[in-house]
A = this chain, B = another copy of it.
Amino acid sequence: MNKILITGHQNPDTDTITSAISFSYLQNTLGKNTEAVALGTPNEETQFALDYFKIHAPRVISSASDETNEIILVDHNEFQQSVSDIEELTILAVIDHHRIANFHTSFPLYYRAEPVGCTQTIILKIYKENSIEIPPAIAGLMLSGIISDTLLFKSPTCTQDDINAAYELAKIAGIEVEKYGLDLLKAGTNLSNKSAEELISLDAKSFEVNGKKIRVAQVNTIDYDDVFLKKNSIETAISNQINQEGYDLFLLVVTNVLDSDSKILAKGNASQTAEKAFGVQLDNGEAFLKGVVSRKKQIIPQITEALS
Q: Show the binding face of A for B, using Cβ within 8 Å.
A: 97-115, 129, 157, 296-297, 300-301, 304-305
Contact = CB atoms under 8 A, between A and B. Distances in A.
A296 B103 CA distance: 18
Contacts of A113: 108-112
Contact of A100 (B103, B297, B301): B103
The oligomer's copy count stands at 2
A296 B115 CA distance: 28
A300 B105 CA distance: 11
A115 B109 contact: yes
B105 A109 contact: no
B108 A104 contact: no
11 contacts: A98-B108, A99-B108, A100-B100, A101-B105, A106-B304, A107-B297, A107-B301, A108-B115, A110-B115, A111-B114, A112-B112
B104 A114 contact: no
Nearest to A92: B115
Given A111-B112, A112-B111, A104 B102 contact: yes
A16 to B, nearest CB: 15
A110 to B, nearest CB: 5
The interface centre, meaning the residue of A97, A110, A305 with most chain B CB atoms within 10 A of its CB, is: A110
A51 B253 CA distance: 58
Contacts of A108: 97-99, 113-115, 157, 296-297
Contacts of A296: 108
A42 B173 CA distance: 53
Nearest to A87: B308
Nearest to A305: B106
A157 B107 CA distance: 11
Contacts of A106: 99, 300-301, 304-305
Contacts of A114: 108, 110-111
Contacts of A102: 104
Contact of A107 (B107, B110, B115): B115
A87 B99 CA distance: 14
